[in-house]
Structure 1
Amino acid sequence: MTQRPGRITARAVRLEAAATQSAPALVLRPWQPADAPALVELHRNDARNDALSRWTSSAVHDEADAARWIREQQQGWETGLRYGFAVVEYQNGGPGGQLTGRVVLKNVTPGTSSAEVGYWIAAQARGRGIAPRALQALTDWAFATFPDDAAFPDDAAFPDDSTFPHAAAPAHAALTRLELLHQIDNTASCRVAQKCRYALAARLPAAPPSYPLAGHVHVRTRDH
């Protein structure tokens, strides 16, 4: 089918992961400026036990840093090359919800059928199955949003709203392959990948200083 222009509006995207017997439901939504205080608190909590800094290069020390980081996530939507989501946990269907981490679809390059996924979950939210449920929701959305026929929705399906970014979608190929990369000593990410059917496909050599240790590449294909 011939590709046609369209756009993916952040306001129109809201992903959900059902509650389990031991954990509340999750909502995945694009980042908003109002998330800045909660984002700072997540980073501060993780910095106390060095949890987040081991796996991410993001530096969020105060609300100014958080605001800049959130704007970068919004710019990803605007360019159509990166789609970042806040992961919010809702207790018993109550209002508001608690920010627990993030997931992202990135390196979405025009003419390329593969992209990369990533995530991090706050230290205090781990052990409740948030990472695999959030990653599975993102995976399903990615394959559904960039389908085999690579058809994009009409602009009319996504009303304009200045509060939310939208992507003027380039001529993307259908996504058929998603990759998840992690440092080799991050065994928790290996387990998350396996739960979401991302098979171990390759081992990457260390590349200091950015990548001081070897890594794993896990792959999920559309027909897997």
Structure 2
Amino acid sequence: MTTRLEVAATPTAPALVLRPWSPADAAGLSALSGDEALRRWTSFAIDDEPSAARWLREQRHGWERGRRFAFAVEEVGPSVGGLPAGHVVLKDVVPGAASAEVGYWTVARARGRGVAPRALDALSDWARATFACDGLIRLVLRHKADNTASCRVAEKCRYALTAVLPAQPPAWPLEGHLHTRHLAERAG
């Protein structure tokens, strides 16, 4: 199974590399604790290096169990460096199941620059190539209904809005959106 994905540069954005998270990422993750948008739109619960190390262990265990495949998203180029620009994840992967879920987030410096849709497209293509033979035919994406940026990313990546989800406090205090992408559709 390929665990490193490369995304070509565009005229306006550097190349991306998607790779599994590693213990060396703990300091960088803990530095994101003050990112209010990340906390508002995601379940990001990292406050310091020990909580970052726990989160990283959870990501590694997901890979080991073959149920959750989390990737750090890195920008590649001479003017880019340091911390990952984001995170994409394929989760709830079950052999023989028709659906799995995707998720993502980006750090402040990467927002609005096409990082999230490019990384999500790469993850979606990887999921198709890796798990279609096990019966995976569709991916779903959930986000809070008032997160218009996530809606735009979903639409750019051909995840159609298929349902409005009722609020489920405390994790989902407001309505959510459910987007679906059928894996027979290739990136365009």
- 1:92 offset after TM fit, Å? 3.6
**Any residues of structure 2 matched to 1:59-208 within 5 Å, and which?**
59-92=45-78, 98-147=83-132, 150=133, 173-208=134-169
Once the two structures are superposed, what CA deviation does each residue of 1:69-97 show, in whole Å capped at 9, x if it has no partner? 00000000000000000001112498x65
Contact 2:59 2:70 in 1 (8 A): yes
Pairwise CA RMSD: 1.5
Structure 2 partner of 1:210: 171
Q: TM-score, normalised by structure 2?
A: 0.93
Contact 2:95 2:135 in 1 (8 A): no
Q: TM-score, normalised by structure 1?
A: 0.79
- 1:110 offset after TM fit, Å? 2.7
- Supply the AA of the counterpart residue of 2:154: A
Contact 1:82 1:106 in 2 (8 A): yes
Higher relative contact order (CA 8 A, sep 6+): 1
Contact 2:33 2:48 in 1 (8 A): no
Contact 1:76 1:82 in 2 (8 A): yes
SS in 2 for 1:60: coil
CA–CA distance in structure 2, aligned partners of residues 60 and 209 of structure 1: 18
Single out whichever of 52-61 and 28-37 deviates more from structure 2. 52-61
- Supply the AA of the counterpart residue of 1:79: R
- Supply the AA of the counterpart residue of 1:139: S
Moved beyond 4 Å, runs of 4+: none
Higher helix content, 1 or 2: 2
Contact 2:145 2:177 in 1 (8 A): yes
- Supply the AA of the counterpart residue of 2:19: R
Structure 2 partner of 1:160: none
- Supply the AA of the counterpart residue of 1:218: H
Contact 1:26 1:89 in 2 (8 A): yes
CA–CA distance in structure 1, aligned partners of residues 95 and 9 of structure 2: 35
